[in-house]
Amino acid sequence: MTGRFAPSPSGDLHVGNLRTALLAWLCARSTGRSFVLRVEDLDRVREGAEQRQLDDLAAIGLDWDGPVVRQSERARLYDAALASLAGRGLVFECFCTRREILDAPSAPHAPPGAYPGTCRDLTEAERDERRRDRPAALRLRAEVSTFTVDDELHGAFSGVVDDVVLRRGDGAVAYNLAVVVDDAQQGIDQVVRGDDLLSSAPRQAYLATLLGATPPTYVHVPLALNSAGQRLAKRDGAVSRSELEARGVDVLALIAASLGLEGSTPHELLRTFDVAAIPRAPWIFDPERT
């Protein structure tokens, strides 16, 4: 049994990211799971960000099992998964731009931006014609429209499953495929992350079943928001560990207080941690009042 934290090295972690990391660690350790770190570096990477993120996690007392895994080093696993799906007729070429998808009529009850199936049943001649204009992305030919996942905070959650992108038109593997392959290969059976990703869980869990994996149990936790109710970001001021500690703030104590936990180390926080008691409301964080 294993839990994980999987940041993208696109910049420094803010205190909300660290809160989610701590919750992922607590959920794993409190249930006897291993805890691993995975760097999701397939897209935006800022030089030095990965090391700063690892330093921040260690600085608040988090530890992890085994070496850090990087998605950029796992292409063969993604290629094998894609080949397996393609061999079963579960992949098709798509030539749509994002704008075309947004502008297309959506299926009933589908959320805005859900793929409407435009390229699903093109003839070979139609595909040949479209290849002259732009390279194709590869999409999953989903055989269900909804899927249900189990979430420790939200219960049974059913969401839309559409034909998600597996490989982008530029040849890069898509996040939805990479995260599912990684979780399955690493034996991840508990995924703790922000609740902004709850709607993605059904399509990822469905994809996991197609690849022969058991979907994990999810714990989608509330985000940290600024005083205006927007997602916390660098523009909100002193939000990183180094910035807050330069002002004399004990970042672990700050996060622990937001969760109603007591202790001066993560291991001490385990004494009073209960996943069912995780606050359901967003954490409103105002650096000016900290």
27 is in an annotated binding site: no
132 is in an annotated binding site: no
Cβ atoms of 153 and 143 within 8 Å: the answer is no
Angle at 71 between CA 47 and CA 188, to 5 degrees: 130
88 is in an annotated binding site: no
193 is in an annotated binding site: yes
Question: Cβ of 113: how many Cβ atoms within 10 Å?
Answer: 12
State the Cα torsion 163-9-150-224 to the nearest 10°.
Answer: -120
235 is in an annotated binding site: no
218 is in an annotated binding site: no
Angle at 7 between CA 6 and CA 11, to 5 degrees: 170
Phi-psi map region of 119: left, alpha, beta (phi>0 left; psi -120 to 50 alpha): alpha
Structure-block tokens of residue 222: 């509330």
Kindly calculate the radius of gyration of the chain based on its CA atoms and give it in whole angstroms: 20
281 is in an annotated binding site: no
Rounded Cα gap, residues 9 and 156, in angstroms: 32
Do you know the residue count of the chain?
A: 290
Ramachandran angles phi, psi of 188, nearest 5°: -75, 120
67 is in an annotated binding site: no
234 is in an annotated binding site: yes
96 is in an annotated binding site: yes
What residues form the annotated binding site for ATP? 234
What residues form the annotated binding site for L-glutamate? 4-8, 40, 175, 193
What residues form the annotated binding site for Zn(2+)? 94, 96, 115, 119
What residues form the annotated binding site? 4-8, 40, 94, 96, 115, 119, 175, 193, 234
